[in-house]
């Protein structure tokens, strides 16, 4: 069956406010504890009224799509954007102007994200920042009792993911991880077919995310010629990442550097592998291997490869295959192979086709999806969780499993070693 899903591309520039000299994190957390109710009780009261007030932390390209959807949700869903935050103030001002023009609101413009978290008017935050800041911002938001929508990946690495899971569960907040494809219910429905044994023993899943470009800018990053070193606090932007002199390439193209991202693995594969995890009910892999390289543009800026492939073996007795090239956009079929039949995902939902040997037992299925890979639906699901405890489509546990899948393959690629999951210590080690 021909793959009918057209791979979605999107702008990939979002940078954000980081640590600054305004005050220490200890000052912030101590102050928050002394002037406000506990994080858990605050989170439980947030959204009790129909209106939900939220803030955007990070005002780059990805955030722009979120912001426009959230503006649309003011009338239909009772959402108000009360603050926008970015180290590069020009970006925050642009967002504030759009919100004023299209929603009639005047959000505060803030540089330090901790000032957002200290604002009692803010009930949940959207974190659309470079990956190396996802963990700390989420942990601080949880401590302040703010619900969180954090763009994928949930964190840059496994250790950060464990800290985030613990912080979110301790605080009792709602956290949605920004794999918006999980608001397409096809994968949950497919999981029910698999649990019921409809396609027999599941053996192999394959899925891809590929692109092409005329030049080595396969992450489709837009640069701003107006940016000057004095416009941002570079030390704050780097945070705990390895230190470098100011470099506009690192600022705009951060997905191309291991210091801030895992490139294809954490930006693109995370979307695809999470679909397989949800469909097959998987958690942590047993082993993983990653191969690839800078094959198309060997002299391109940055460290990450333009071609990458993972094979991940799971303890349920199946392999997940992830395929990507940034120099060739041809797709492969997105499928889950079972002993009795195969699930083929496509743009309208999925099809189940029986193996010839089991044609009398397994009948063809055509499932037409009702949801979509859509950030508006994903925000709406989080808001329902805040208001009425609805089940999240991509919670911290699923976010954690995705981080492990992305990192085990990346570590294998970088070390050229076969890697395995240490179940007892929840860490990745050499096999």
Whether residue 343 is contained in a domain is answered as yes
Nearest to residue 255, comparing CAs of 221, 287, 227? 221
pLDDT tens figures, 91-107: 999 999 999 999 999 99
Nearest to residue 320, comparing CAs of 335, 306, 305, 339? 335
Tokens of 190: 């497919």
Residue 351 has a pLDDT of 98
pLDDT tens figures, 321-351: 999 999 999 999 999 999 999 999 999 999 9
Measure the N-to-C terminal CA separation of the chain; round to a whole number of Å: 37
Measured in residues, the chain has a length of 431
Whether residue 127 is contained in a domain is answered as no
* Pairing relationship of beta strands 52-57 and 124-127 according to DSSP bridges: parallel
User: Which CATH number belongs to the domain containing residue 195 in this structure?
Assistant: 3.30.360.10
**For residues 10 and 62, is the Cβ–Cβ distance under 8 A?**
yes
Whether residue 85 is contained in a domain is answered as no
Residue 215 has a pLDDT of 85
Whether residue 51 is contained in a domain is answered as no
pLDDT tens figures, 271-304: 999 999 999 999 999 999 999 999 999 999 999 9
Structural domain count, the chain: 1
Q: Is the pLDDT of residue 26 over 70?
A: no
For the purposes of burial, counting CB atoms within 10 Å of the CB of 219, is it exposed (0-12), middle (13-18) or buried (19 or more)? buried
Spatial distance between the Cα atoms of 96 and 83, rounded to a whole number of angstroms: 8
Listed in sequence order, the residues at least 6 apart from 215 whose beta carbon sits closer than 8 Å to its beta carbon are: none
Whether residue 148 is contained in a domain is answered as no
Q: What mean pLDDT comes out for the span 108-125?
A: 98
Spatial distance between the Cα atoms of 409 and 135, rounded to a whole number of angstroms: 20
Whether residue 308 is contained in a domain is answered as yes
| 52, 164, 320, 343 from 3: Cα distances, Å | 40, 36, 18, 12
Whether residue 74 is contained in a domain is answered as no
Transcribe 143-169 into DSSP letters.
HTT-EEEEESSS-SSHHHHHHHHHHHH
Whether residue 381 is contained in a domain is answered as no
Tokens of 59: 């005002």
Spatial distance between the Cα atoms of 149 and 127, rounded to a whole number of angstroms: 6
Work out the pLDDT band at 11, boundaries 50, 70, 90. very low
Q: What is the pTM of this model?
A: 0.89
Range of the domain at 272: 183-219+258-369+397-430
342 has which bridge partners?
337, 353
Q: What mean pLDDT comes out for the span 18-26?
A: 37
């Amino acid at each position: 069956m021909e793959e009918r899903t057209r791979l979605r591309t999107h702008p990939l520039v979002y940078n954000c406010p980081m640590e600054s000299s305004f005050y220490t994190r200890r000052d912030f957390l101590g102050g928050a504890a002394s002037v406000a109710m506990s994080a858990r009780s605050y989170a439980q009261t947030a959204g009790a009224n129909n209106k939900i007030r939220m803030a955007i932390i990070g005002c780059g390209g990805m955030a722009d799509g979120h912001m426009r959807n959230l503006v649309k949700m003011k009338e239909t869903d009772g959402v108000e954007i009360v603050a926008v935050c970015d180290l590069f103030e020009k970006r925050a001002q642009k967002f504030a102007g759009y919100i004023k023009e299209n929603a009639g609101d005047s959000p505060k413009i803030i540089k330090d994200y901790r000032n957002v978290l200290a604002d009692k008017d803010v009930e949940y935050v959207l974190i659309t920042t470079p990956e190396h800041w996802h963990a700390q911002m989420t942990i601080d938001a949880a401590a302040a009792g703010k619900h969180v929508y954090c763009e994928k990946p949930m964190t840059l690495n496994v250790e950060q993911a464990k800290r985030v899971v613990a912080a979110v569960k301790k605080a009792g907040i709602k956290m949605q991880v920004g794999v918006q494809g999980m608001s397409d219910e096809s994968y949950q429905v497919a999981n029910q077919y698999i649990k019921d044994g409809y396609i027999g023993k599941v053996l192999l899943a394959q899925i891809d995310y590929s692109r092409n470009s005329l030049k080595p800018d396969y992450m489709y990053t837009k640069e701003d010629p107006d940016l000057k070193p004095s416009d941002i606090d570079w030390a704050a932007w780097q945070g705990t990442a390895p230190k470098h002199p100011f470099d506009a390439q690192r600022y705009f193209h951060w997905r191309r550097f291991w210091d801030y991202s895992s490139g294809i693995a954490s930006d693109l594969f995370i979307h695809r592998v999470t679909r397989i995890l949800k469909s097959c009910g998987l958690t942590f892999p047993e082993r993983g291997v990653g191969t690839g390289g800078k094959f198309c543009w060997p002299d391109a800026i940055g460290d990450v490869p333009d071609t990458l492939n993972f094979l991940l073996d799971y303890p349920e007795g199946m392999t997940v295959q992830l395929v990507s090239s940034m120099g060739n956009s041809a797709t492969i079929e997105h499928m889950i192979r079972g002993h009795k039949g195969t699930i083929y995902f496509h743009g309208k939902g999925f099809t189940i086709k029986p193996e010839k040997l089991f044609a009398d037992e397994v009948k063809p299925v055509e499932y037409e999806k009702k949801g979509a890979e859509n950030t508006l639906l994903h925000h709406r699901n989080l808001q329902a969780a805040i208001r009425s405890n609805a089940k999240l489509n991509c919670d911290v546990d699923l976010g954690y499993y995705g981080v492990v899948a992305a990192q085990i393959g990346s570590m294998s690629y970088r070390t050229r070693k076969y890697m395995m999951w240490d179940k007892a210590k929840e860490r990745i080690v050499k096999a």
